[in-house]
Amino acid sequence: MNLSHIRALVTRPEPQAQALADSIIKASGSVWTMPMLQIKALPETQAMRNCVLSLEQFDKVIVTSRPAANLGLELIEQYWPQLPIHCQWFAIGGSTAAELEHYNIKAAFSDAGVDSEALLNLDAFSHIQNEKMLIIKGVDGRGLLEEHLHQAGAITQTLDVYQRACPQYEDDELVKKLESHSINVILCGSGETLSNLGRYLPTSRRTGFHLLVPSERVAQQARDLGFQQVLNACGASNDAMLQALAQI
């Protein structure tokens, strides 16, 4: 794969931003990072400990993101050297599932998308009346997942392990970076990252480059915000992003 035609700006949070940037550089592309999302681990509380200590009570455990996988399992491993064997694990997206593999967890995920809707279309969620489910996530997520599970009769509990924040930059810092490096594609890994990008990028500047996003939902959000050259990578993994870059 040769990405020598690519001059990319990666906006995902660290350390994922640098990992993706390194992959682009390896394929001969030029890349800069400017995270549009910060991940801050929540301090451990007694409520979090109580939730983790009751892990064996859950039929299914759903992990919503890579930060949730890393921070959630770091917490769980403190109290569960060996995980309950009957729990079924699920991940939103292949990237999150890959993070869980680092903890020897084989999590099911949907090949059809990287959002809650795709996960809920799995057969495992077709009959879930009275099943107990734990959702490991960040504070103030979309809420669709928990809402749907409730409506389907499941008993849910959430374990928030991080919070998101918008990084602070000078008002013109993003525009200067785009112009000084002749950026021709911005890689944006989530709807919230896209919203934060919009805070620093005036509407009049949302043309002239490709915007690469992980799903059709985020692609539509981007078009609604005035981005014109929106490309759906159909995934948030490094491989999905690289394959999409190669098509530009």
Percent of the chain with pLDDT over 90: 85
59: pLDDT strictly greater than 90: yes
pLDDT single digits (tens) 227-246: 999 999 988 889 999 999 99
Question: Which pLDDT band holds residue 222 (cuts at 50, 70, 90)?
Answer: very high
Considering the entire predicted model, what is its pTM? Answer: 0.82
Q: Can you give the pLDDT at residue 142? A: 67
User: Which regions of 57-188 does DSSP assign to beta strands (E)?
Assistant: 60-63, 88-91, 132-138, 155-165, 185-187
> Exposed (0-12), middle (13-18) or buried (19+): which is 243, by Cβ within 10 Å?
middle
Q: Which tokens belong to 119?
A: 């996960």
Helices H, strands E: what count in the chain?
Answer: 10, 10
pLDDT single digits (tens) 115-127: 888 899 999 999 9
Q: What are phi and psi of 201, to 5 degrees?
A: -120, 105
Q: Which domains does the chain have, with CATH numbers?
A: 7-37+170-246 (3.40.50.10090), 40-164 (3.40.50.10090)
**Closest to 187 (Cα-Cα) out of 246, 128, 233, 120:** 233
Mean pLDDT of 29-49: 96
pLDDT single digits (tens) 134-181: 999 999 866 789 999 999 999 999 999 999 999 999 999 999 999 999
Region of poorest pLDDT, from 47-61, 103-117, 218-232: 103-117
**Closest to 166 (Cα-Cα) out of 211, 139, 200:** 200
